[in-house]
Chains A and B, each alone.
Chain A
Amino acid sequence: MAEHARRILKIGFFFTLLVAGGCQTAPVANLKPGERPNIETTEAGLWMQADRAEKKIQRSGNLVKHAGINRYVRSIVCRLSPDYCEQIRVYIVDKPGFNASMTPNGMMIVQSGLMLRAQNEAQLAFVLGHEMAHFIRRHTLQRWQTVKDTTGFLTIVSIALGASGLGGASPMVGLMATGGIFANSRDNEREADGLGLAMIVKAGYEPQEASKVWKHLLAERRAMEDADIGQSFFSTHPGSEERMETLSNLAKTIPGAEQAKNTNLTAFIEAVGPHRDHWLERELRLGKLDRTEVVINNLLQQSKDLGVLHFYKGELYRKRNTESDFEKAIEAYSKALTYPDSPPKTHRALGFIYRKRGETNKAHDSLNDYLKLQPRADDHAMIRHYLEQSK
């Protein structure tokens, strides 16, 4: 039995080498500006599928249609790569959580949760550049070819193993091959990180901002109790820690880094700031409060939109509702009110907390302040009802 197991291991090792070697796909050239794949190619089929997905996105209720923010993100894409600007269509979707994706036909989807987390234009530009690199390097086609070659090769290996009486080793070889596919995908991500970094440096953005994107994500992940911090064999992306370190090191040596210092914070806040209220509200709805607390704390470091950010910090404590959270919520709401951009609903939130604590006069005053600022608020009838009750 032990001999049989040793034999399987030896053959497994042999086939791992074969899989690793056998699954090497031919290099794929960059997509040229303006290029569309020939209709008879596999790539054209991938584009057609992406075209269909794009039509769905265009109808989606989650699409952010605000002209200003769309114009702004598009301007960054064009700044990063004027040559490919025409080919890339950006769709911002109103969805919490950090994510963006790129399809082979040039459709880029950016989640509002990503825009919320970016702290300046350089950080956003890096993620956009990363996605553009997937398009230019035709990573979808590369992945498709890797999967096709690996599965074809696996069939041959399985037949050979079966014929030699070692069919039991097939699952092991299959597992290794699958790991190879995921490893390839991680390599694509690393390549996109490198190209994204090069693009932002060329466009004059501070390259150290790229690693900060992953630093913040890592902090979020660590704040979540259920986070899988370990790097999975089947992960399609390298770990945030690895990406953070690699990008930070690359940023020190990349040519042109000395001159690239822009973060364009003012333009970024002007474009993104008005949406933060809604995006934070949606983020809180997910109920991942510890993670959202990290997001808010990171944004607070910028000293912009402080009224809105402190209000949502208060909201976070109110929702968490543990013993000390009410006090913390009052403190956060009160702090929000010291800034001119605090939303009128801060008074309402304070009023509700005082009401729950039986502090009728304070509740009355806060709710009154809310109605003074928003006499035709959506819930004015309910608030007036509370005020009547508390008389």
Chain B
Amino acid sequence: MLRVLAIISTLVFVTGCQTFQETKKSGRISIGEAYSIDPQVSWRRANRDGLEIWTVDGPILQELVFMKAVKDGASLPIKSRQSPENKPRFNSKMSPSEIMEIVIASLDTGKRGQIKATNLRPMKFGKAQGFRFDISWTNEKGLPYSAIVAAAKFDETLELILYKGDSLHHFAKFHDAVEKMLASIQLIKT
């Protein structure tokens, strides 16, 4: 009996770490209180450390991360090697270049190599003025990764979407769907 309980507890613990729920393929899904999107494909959706994470094949292979309403003075909810006091923090007066800089600094965990941000450009985030850029890096085993980041500032907060995946297959697999999803953003707040 004790053994069965131990196994059940372990399973609950392991699965309880991250529970994914399937999203619908189309229609509108609200991301926090700021905007909604059309998911384009059926994703598995989970919340981890205050982040909303979507994936189809698993977060290591490809991951869509929604950082919702990052407040003035807060660090980005990305695990990094910096101690809390050294972590780069979002400041509502930051320019897109500076926000790109803190995204890169937060991703630079020591395990990622050759992190490079390119192609910073303006984009429409719903009806708001936003911006986007591309990122590439190599993981500790030498596997190349690609990512796109789309973001916009609303008053004192930042909304940021990060889509990443291995460059060999999984990034490209839903890249078009993510592009359509970004084009589908509609603001809830006006």
Contact = CB atoms under 8 A, between A and B. Distances in A.
A226 B84 CA distance: 13
Interface stretch (A6-14, A28-36, A245-253, A377-385): A377-385
Contact of A356 (B93, B133, B141, B143): B93
A111 B119 CA distance: 29
Contacts of B143: 61
Contacts of B133: 379
Contacts of B119: 378-379, 381
Interface in A329-363: 348, 352, 355-356
A381 B142 contact: no
A379 B116 CA distance: 13
A378 B120 contact: yes
A94 B95 contact: no
Given A352-B95, A355-B95, A381 B86 contact: no
B54 to A, nearest CB: 25
Nearest to B139: A61
B121 A285 contact: no
Interface string B56-87: 00000000000000000000000000110111
Given A286-B86, A381-B122, A61 B140 contact: yes
B143 to A, nearest CB: 8
Contacts of B104: 285
A63 interface: yes
Q: Which of B93, B105, B118 has the most CB of A within 10 A?
A: B105
B121 A61 contact: no
A259 to B, nearest CB: 42
A304 interface: no
Interface string A50-74: 0000001001111100000000000
A282 B141 CA distance: 20
Interface string B84-108: 0111100101011110000011001
A62 B93 CA distance: 33
B163 interface: no
Interface residues of B, number: 35
Contacts, number: 74
A288 interface: yes
Interface string B130-143: 01010001111111
Nearest to B141: A59
A63 B108 contact: no
A134 B65 CA distance: 45
B95 A60 contact: no
A373 to B, nearest CB: 16
B113 to A, nearest CB: 3
B123 to A, nearest CB: 10
A71 to B, nearest CB: 20
Interface in A118-176: none
A95 interface: yes
A381 B108 CA distance: 25
Nearest to A321: B91
B112 interface: yes
Contacts of A382: 96-97, 120-122, 131
B27 interface: no
A95 B81 CA distance: 12
Given A61-B142, A379-B121, A382-B122, A95 B86 contact: no
Given A61-B139, A356-B93, A288 B114 contact: no
B119 to A, nearest CB: 6
Contact of A285 (B91, B108, B120, B144): B108
B48 to A, nearest CB: 24
B105 A62 contact: no
B120 A379 contact: yes
B105 A287 contact: yes
B16 interface: no
Nearest to B113: A61
B120 A381 contact: yes
A288 B86 contact: yes
B112 A61 contact: yes
B33 to A, nearest CB: 27
Contacts of B137: 61
Contacts of B50: none
Given A285-B88, A381-B122, 9 more contacts: A61-B144, A94-B113, A287-B86, A378-B120, A381-B119, A381-B121, A382-B96, A382-B131, A385-B121
9 contacts: A60-B140, A60-B141, A61-B113, A95-B110, A321-B91, A352-B95, A379-B97, A381-B122, A382-B120
Q: Identify the 7 closest CB pairs spanning chains A and B, nearest first.
A: A61-B138, A61-B113, A287-B86, A62-B113, A381-B121, A379-B120, A59-B142
Interface of A: 56, 59-63, 94-95, 226, 282, 285-288, 319, 321, 348, 352, 355-356, 378-379, 381-382, 385
